[in-house]
Amino acid sequence: MALLDVQNLQTHFRTPEGVNRAVDGVSFHVDEGETLAIVGESGCGKSVTSMSLMRLIPEPPGKIAGSIRFQGKNLLQLSEHEMRAIRGNDISMIFQEPMTSLNPVLTVGRQIGETLRMHQGLDKQAALARAVEMLALVGIPEPARRVREYPHQLSGGMRQRVMIAIALACNPKLLIADEPTTALDVTIQAQILQLMLDLKRRVGAAIVLITHDLGVVAEIAERVMVMYAGRKVEEAPVAELFRSPRHPYTQGLLGALPRLGSSLTGAARRLAEIPGQVPSLKQRIEGCVFVGRCPIATDLCREFAPGLEEKTPRHFTACHYASKGAAAA
Amino acid sequence: MTVSTANTARLPADLVVAPQLPDLLPSVKVRRGVLGFLRNHPTVAIGCTLLLCLILVGIFAPYLGTVDPTALAPAKRTRAPSADFWFGTDALGRDIYSRVLYGARVSLTVGLSVALCASLAGLAIGLVSGFVRWADGIVMRFMDGLMSIPPILLAVALMALTRGSVGNVILAITVAEIPRVSRLVRGVVLSLREQPYVDAAVASGTRTPMIILRHILPNTVAPMLVQATYICASAMIVESILSFIGAGTPPTIPSWGNIMAEGRALWQVKPFIVFFPAAFLSVTVLAVNLLGDGLRDALDPRMAKGL
Amino acid sequence: MSALLQVNDLKKHFPVRGGLFSRTTNWVYAVDGVSFEVERGETLSLVGESGCGKSTVGRAILRLFDITAGQVVLDGQRIDDLSPGALRSMRRRVQVVFQDPFSSLNPRMRVRDILAEPIRNFGLAKSSAELEARVAALMDTVRLPHDALNRRPHEFSGGQRQRIGIARALAAEPELIVCDEAVSALDVSVKAQIINLLQDLQQEFGLALLFISHDLAIVEHMTRRVAVMYLGKIVEMAPRRQIFTAPKHPYTKALLSAVPLPEPGADRNPIILKGDVPSPINPPSGCRFHTRCPFVFARCRTEEPMLRSAGDGEWVACHLESLPEVPGPLGDPRVRRN
């Protein structure tokens, strides 16, 4: 059985300009110890998906439907009280902005200890000792001194390490990382990615990585799911997806990416473009969500939304025209 | 998989169609224009309506069944509210209903004038302070000094130096309110100056006066409007307090503060003398504050798109 | 013919104010001695991590503030010491496109007025009919529909706003555009549109671009020459091919190797730098990179390396380069790409 099994997740919001169908019928699963990346551009619903998993969507103005089964339990049917026992304990989350996600008036040690005392009933001494351990685990030098410091005394990279320490403190089974390295500089990002790869081996938690950076995806994900305009358009093992993307959107995305090394290979001087804009989610989209920007769209696509189809083993694509079997260009 | 039979004929047999999922929320009617704005922000609508009513009451006081608010009638002193005297009469037999309605004129005049004058003066000082580096320190320390004196005390002191009149009350309260506005404007100006569009305007050769006029001023309007409502509310309260302690509007002019001051001695036996002006004052201040809170939420920079 | 833009030993130190009357208590050495040239019609990229001073250099060239020391020479004329009046005519020749497509346009102005502002300021249109024609032509240039002219910025998507920003820069008919992270805030598919647009416009109008970015893949795609900055100084400057195939400075090597590649299973061997970028308030002595450099030796801590020529238009500021025959300590980071 999968650790996390999401079926037909829908998250809609009421806004003065209309109902925003931020996530509209997304299904996926995460196995134990696996790393699934959810990629897509801003507004594709990837962050709303992660917030929905944690039930962090305020209702109203939001509304969630579908099912989110974690270890067999449907999280959408739990009470807020039961949910609180899961958040930060079985499922924890790392956010993009380490400065605003940490409480500025509490020491780092207190913040790590807080979750431990709440979820695992450790006393003050034990929680502090474990906090020092956690800081050492995430590679912070002089952990015994650092536990007594406040977030503003730490650099951006250090704060993200602390965030990871808090998230891992209770040995979660599932870690949701929402753009964990987006706010960081590239040399610091390299440090954090290295750390995440290292911890993945040592801690063994499953990871749902939300990101827009295909480089980061290639670095640490095992399976990738591509989202567009609130729907899932493609899912495949990471190597397969980058080698032979089948959905026109994924193909366009990979083609539009400037590559490091282009001056060496003498690659084309022009990037491929995906023409047009992401459609408004405030109107109901009957057919395929990508139809307005797709080079191969037909009337069929405008009328019927394509379902996910397993075109080759473990490679799912929601496109009427993605060929089966041998990979397309 | 819910493909209607009429269409399936011309479809490929193995077409995979995504499951149709229902909308979770009822569709939202998008409202536009001023009315739509008011519907989306009910606090603004309520505040606006209340305030508008009070302004109309003030303007049309002579036609709303009032008598001369200063006419003495010693024979009809301290009558309780009745069909003849809706709000009763005071110690000198004057009709409280008439006095309260005419009193709205004083309160609203003071409130709105102070809001206008303090905003304009604060805007000027704040702009200078935000744009002229060397003046900033001096102006702001002076404003800090002014702010360290409680506004009521400052107004009382200023009133003590002058003759009691509505104009002087407005002046005194305006002086007391200016520091807060100029601080706010200065803050807004400093943050607007950092906006990339201001830099881009500088790079495209726009002169400083035009930068202020075209890029800075229009963007200070929203926070100023909100601040102005709070000033208006506070000015009306201060005016009443000044009148109440006899340092404000001359007693010959009916103002809510004056009426309450005169009814003070009879509070325990004839509470209605104080009650009606107090109730009107509360409702007016509430209306202005509702308007201010609603505007603040509606004009929040993230939501300010529509305006 | 001389270079279009020459920057000589540019310094910009920002005061850190504190105390009762805002006395200066300290200095941020944001840019501390930077020199480079931009030729007509070429693209020079300034790359580096946040706080390296690359944006400050761009703003100094735009004269958005007075510089602390050094010279900015545009087409043979110094512009760093011009009076505001004399500067105005020079401003037309250097324009800017900013990163954030949401804060770089005045939310209360219509697109028409945003585009007309520079045209009016520099007197580029003789009549209102000509002004109108110019504004319409700008919309064509950046491929936006004419009916967009009467709308306000909030009605557009990020990519469209960035097109408006580019149109505003073009309105002044500049010779150099400073692109300060101009595509960093955009999504991949829109980013490609804007990059292509910038390249087309550069061709069409013979524009020089100063392309400030932290995204090395885009820099490699866009540029002819690259200057790598670290803590207010240029550590390496070279034609694109040298920088991306055979970087010489240890920081450039680390920076390049740290970029995650969109190629799963690529045989990467990133150089992970220890620690964080030091504060520009108290920059390290000697070589500013010595606190994180994997090859640091005694001389680096005391003596600051000068930017010196390494042949072929390549400039490096590293003591390793002045040692005879240094074997590439970690080898060429590009070699791993087989």
Domains and CATH numbers, chain B: 57-67+86-300 (1.10.3720.10)
CB B178 within 8 A of CB B146: yes
Could you tell me if C157 lies within 8 Å of chain B, comparing CB atoms?
no
pLDDT at C335: 36
Q: Mutate which of B1, B5, B7, B16 to disrupt the A interface (most A C-beta within 10 Å)?
A: B16
CB atoms B203 and C165 under 8 Å: no
List chains adjacent to chain C, taking adjacency as at least 3 C-beta pairs closer than 8 Å: A, B
pLDDT at C115: 94
Mean pLDDT of C199-227: 91
User: For residue A20, what are the β-bridge partners?
Assistant: A13
- Would you state the structure tokens that stand for residue B5, as one six-digit string? 């039979």
Residue C110 in this model has a pLDDT that exceeds 70? yes
For residue A60, is the peptide bond before it cis, meaning its omega torsion is within 30 degrees of 0?
yes
E strands, chain A, are 4-15, 18-30, 35-39, 62-70, 73-74, 91-94, 174-178, 206-211, 223-228, 231-237, 309-312, 315-317
pLDDT at A7: 92
CB C288 within 8 A of CB C232: yes
Confidence band, pLDDT 50/70/90 cuts, at residue C338: very low
Out of C220, C264, C276, the one facing A260 most closely (by C-beta) is C220
DSSP SS3 for A270: coil
pLDDT at C6: 93
Please list, residue by residue across C320-336, b when 16 or more beta carbons sit within 10 angstroms of its beta carbon and e when fewer do: bbeeeeeeeeeeebbee
Provide the CA C74 distance to its chain's centre, in angstroms: 16
Please list, residue by residue across A17-32, b when 16 or more beta carbons sit within 10 angstroms of its beta carbon and e when fewer do: ebbbbbbbbbbbbbee
Give per-residue pLDDT as tens, A87-112: 888 899 888 876 778 888 889 888 88
Mean pLDDT of C115-135: 92
Provide the CA C20 distance to its chain's centre, in angstroms: 36
pLDDT at A232: 92
Length in residues, chain C: 338
CA distances from A18 to A15, A22, A280, A317 (A): 5, 12, 10, 30
pLDDT at B2: 41
Round the average pLDDT of chain C to a whole number and report it. 87
Out of B205, B215, B218, the one facing C121 most closely (by C-beta) is B205
Out of B141, B196, B201, the one facing C100 most closely (by C-beta) is B196
Confidence band, pLDDT 50/70/90 cuts, at residue C235: very high
Complete domains list, chain C, with CATH? 3-261+269-313+326-336 (3.40.50.300)
- Would you state the structure tokens that stand for residue C289, as one six-digit string? 């990179």
List chains adjacent to chain A, taking adjacency as at least 3 C-beta pairs closer than 8 Å: B, C
Round the average pLDDT of chain A to a whole number and report it. 86
Confidence band, pLDDT 50/70/90 cuts, at residue C113: very high
Q: Per mean pLDDT, which range of A99-108, B102-111, C124-133, C317-326 is the poorest?
A: C317-326
Using CB atoms within 10 Å of the CB of residue B5, give its burial: 0 to 12 exposed, 13 to 18 middle, 19+ buried: exposed
Q: What is the ipTM of this complex?
A: 0.85
Alpha-carbon gap, residue C84 to C64, rounded angstroms: 11
CB B285 within 8 A of CB B233: yes
Domain extents in chain A: 1-81+174-183+206-258+272-322
CB atoms A16 and B21 under 8 Å: no
CA distances from B184 to A102, B188, B235, B297, B305 (A): 29, 6, 17, 17, 22
Could you tell me if B305 lies within 8 Å of chain C, comparing CB atoms?
yes
CB atoms C240 and A258 under 8 Å: no
- Is the entire prediction scored with pTM above 0.90? no
Place of tokens 């260009």: A329
Q: Chain B: give the shortest CA distance to residue C200, in Å.
A: 22
pLDDT at A249: 92
Confidence band, pLDDT 50/70/90 cuts, at residue A329: very low
Confidence band, pLDDT 50/70/90 cuts, at residue A266: low
* CATH number, domain A1-81+174-183+206-258+272-322, options 3.20.20.80, 3.40.1550.10, 3.40.50.300, 3.40.50.970: 3.40.50.300
Task: List average pLDDT for each run of 10 residues in chain B, which is 307 residues long.
Answer: 44 74 78 78 89 90 80 76 78 83 89 93 90 84 86 82 84 89 89 90 89 90 88 90 84 86 82 88 91 82 41
Residue C334 in this model has a pLDDT that exceeds 50? no
Place of tokens 């929320």: B25
For residue C247, is the peptide bond before it cis, meaning its omega torsion is within 30 degrees of 0?
no
Residue A67 in this model has a pLDDT that exceeds 70? yes
CB pairs under 8 A between B and C: 66
pLDDT at A187: 85
**Which chain C residues touch A193 with a CB distance below 8 Å?**
260
pLDDT at A267: 55
Residue A150 φ then ψ, to 5°: -100, 155
pLDDT at B43: 87
Mean pLDDT of A46-70: 89
Region of residue A261 (phi > 0: left; psi between -120 and 50: alpha; otherwise: beta): left
Confidence band, pLDDT 50/70/90 cuts, at residue A74: very high
Alpha carbon dihedral A266, A270, A272, A278, in 10-degree steps, equals 140
